[in-house]
Structure 1
Amino acid sequence: MLCAKIPATSANLGPGFDCLGLALNLYNTITVEESSTWQIRLAGKYSTGLPVDESNLVWQTMLFLWKKANHPAPKVTLTLENQIPPARGLGSSSAAIVGGLVVANSLAGSPFSQLELLQMANELEGHPDNVTPALYGGVTLAVETAEGVLPRVLCENSNIHVLVTIPDFLLSTSKSRKVLSPKVDRRDAVFNIAHAGLVIEAFLRNDYKLLKEGMRDRLHQDQRAALVPGLSEALSSALENGAYGSALSGSGPTLLAFLSPEHTQAVSACMLQTFAKHGLNAEAFPLLISSRGAHIL
């Protein structure tokens, strides 16, 4: 038997569109057992509606790696325990892809390095901001170069707390990307470059007061506000109640707030109240940054 643990992730961190991300201590697990027949079993809070046939993303990813490695697909039973909510901006598809690659690589005798797995994950996901922290853990910067994705781990361990507030509706990445303008004003590009620099410095120096200004964005959050009722108001209320910084998590609808523990209750209450005012049920819970990416237990 083989078991892998894969963290949830949050991408962009405000201005770091498609390049900044972090791993969270909320996990999916994949268990593989030898079997006389192939099958997929589902477990965990967020399993409803996931396919149990060969179209399952974890299995498709495993087949993808085995094809590259010229390794035959074995008969196995996969048990997928899903604690990461899907289509909420917490990297559920990245967890499936990275988990499938790590498991398949291990079953094939580990022919590929971690860096090679990252290139495959980016190829399958289409952008590296979630798959990089899912694989490496911590707070990461993913730089796309002519040779592939260059991963940089900015911070492995941090004492900062992360409050995630999850509205009770689904928002696919593809739908969230369709509202973005294909062209960017130069002033907005400069704004985001500068503010992404502040976010990076905040984690390199553990100077989290920089996040209040650093997590401001002009490339995607305002455009996506129409998809998440109360978005701007909720982010502002988090700052007013003590959060270091707040942002849309990935493509949403989950919101992310960095804070110290003593502000958790106030920030949670104000964000939930804001969503309720806009007719949305939501849940909020505190997490930590996971220092480890996907790994075999």
Structure 2
Amino acid sequence: MTEAPRRVRVTVPATSANLGPGFDTLGIALSVYDELTVSVVDEPGVRVVVSGVGEGEVPLDERNLVASSMLHTFAALGVPAPGGVLIEASNTIPHGRGMGSSGAAVVAGIMAAVGLVGSDRPVSDDELLRIATELEGHPDNVAPALFGGLTIAWITEDGPRFKRLLVHRGVSPLVLVPEVTMSTKLARSLQPEQVPHADAIFNLSRSALLVAAMTQSPELLLAATEDRLHQDYRAGAMPQTSGMVQALRERGFPAVVSGAGPSVLVLANGPGERERAAAAAAELSGVPWTALSLAVDIRGARVVDVNS
């Protein structure tokens, strides 16, 4: 048996789920990251130190989402947790903005546990996704956070599954982040239990088209990001977000609500269109938005041994 690492570094990307029509199914990883160093220490218990986003706001013990996810993963793998753990987190993913911060925290905890267990307990991709979905409740954010790129996630009788796809190099994401936050729980509560048959068919066609647009034909992104399944039902809770999405789409930009909101994601066809969308957003809004010109992360979560 090899000696298990005592210190690992974890990097996890932000994500944007749904992408318009792909509700609870499609997601992409984005080039904004939370980075953590997790160390086995002599002092018993779990201690968390946070800098950046969440500093002074999140729990600093085993109630912290990274810490609780890590402890859950040790149990799921059948491996005893270390007696003492120090988690040092440097966060840049905005909280409560529809960029997958909770999914990233869950994935960070899972990867920290996997890294500290070491190579004596191999963990498959399906097992990683199963544990993450147990903790997060649905796989659309945790799949791209784990594996990068564009992911299609679905649930089977045997658990969650995913397919990772490479995004066409012309796709240029822009995320517009407002100062206000949105509760994912509240956003999901606004969804009706049933939708009209015509709307379901509409979204099926757009979801299929979106996969083609994201991987082969980004010129189709405006049509492919149309949605009738969830965004309109949530619009009243996020009027500024809804107004921004509508205004940008009227000008030809493929804008959608990022995840549960309130951020806006524009899946531009090339850097030039992205720059024009950012300029249009600055002119349209009477409230401050932070414009993030991002890349699609293709690697997903990473963990490395930093003992040496």
TM range (shorter): over 0.9
Residue 264 in 1 paired to residue 283 in 2?
no
* Structure 1 residues 21 and 59: CA distance shift in structure 2, 3 A: same
**TM value normalised by structure 2:** 0.90
- The yes-or-no answer on 1:155 pairing with 2:163 is no
Q: Distance in 2 between matches of 1:208 and 1:70?
A: 45
User: Take 2:297 and 2:157, find their aligned partners in 1: how far apart are those partners?
Assistant: 29
The unaligned stretches of length 5 or more in structure 1 are none
Following the alignment from structure 1 to structure 2, what is the Cα–Cα distance between the partners of residues 266 and 162? 12
Shift of 1:242: 5.3
User: What is residue 4 of structure 2 aligned with on the other side?
Assistant: none
Q: Alignment partner for residue 210 of structure 1, among 215, 220, 226?
A: 220
Match in the other structure for 1:173: 184
TM-score after normalising by structure 1:
0.93
What are the Cα deviations for residues 200-239 of structure 1, in whole angstroms up to 9, with x where unaligned?
111231x112111111111110111112123343223334
Distance 2:67 2:37 in 1: 12
Aligned equivalent of 1:109: 118
Q: Which amino acid is 1:72 matched to?
A: P
Q: What is the DSSP-based 3-state SS (H/G/I as helix, E as strand, rest coil) of the residue aligned with 2:181?
A: coil
How far, CA to CA, are the matches of 2:236 and 2:288 in structure 1?
A: 17
What is the SS of the residue equivalent to 1:288? coil
Q: Is structure 2 residue 74 aligned with structure 1 residue 69?
A: no
List aligned pairs for 1:1-297, cutoff 5 A. Answer: 1-37=7-43, 38-74=46-82, 75-110=84-119, 111=121, 112-155=123-166, 158-205=169-216, 207-241=217-251, 243=253, 245-259=254-268, 260-276=270-286, 280-297=287-304
Which digits, 9 at most, give the CA deviation of each residue in 1:47-102, with x for residues without a partner? 34011021001110111011122322211211011100111100001001111111
Contact 1:195 1:214 in 2 (8 A): yes
Partners of 1:190 and 1:171 lie apart in 2 by: 28
Give a deviation string over 1:131-171, Cα, whole Å, max 9, x none: 00001100110021111112111225634211000111110
SS in 2 for 1:193: helix
Displacement after TM superposition at 1:114 (Å)? 1.9
Name the CA distance, whole Å, in 2 between partners of 1:225 and 1:71. 45
Mapped contact 2:199–2:229 kept (Cα < 8 A)? yes
Say if 1:229 and 1:269 are closer, same or farther in 2 by CA, change over 3 A.
farther
Contact 1:167 1:282 in 2 (8 A): yes
Letter in 2 for 1:246: A
Distance 1:51 1:283, change over 3 A: same
Q: How many residues align?
A: 292
Contact map agreement 2:48 2:87 (CA 8 A) in 1: yes
CA deviations over 1:13-67 (Å, ceiling 9, x no partner) = 0000000000001000111123222421111244340110210011101110111
What is the CA distance between 1:241 and its match in structure 2? 4.7
Q: Using the alignment, how far apart are the partners of 2:168 and 2:149 within structure 1?
A: 7
Gaps in structure 2 of 5+ consecutive residues: 1-6
User: What is the percent sequence identity of the aligned residues?
Assistant: 38
CA distance in 2, matches of 1:229, 1:258: 21
Answer whether contact 2:235 2:241 (CA < 8 A) is retained. yes
Quick one: which amino acid aligns to residue 136 of structure 2? E
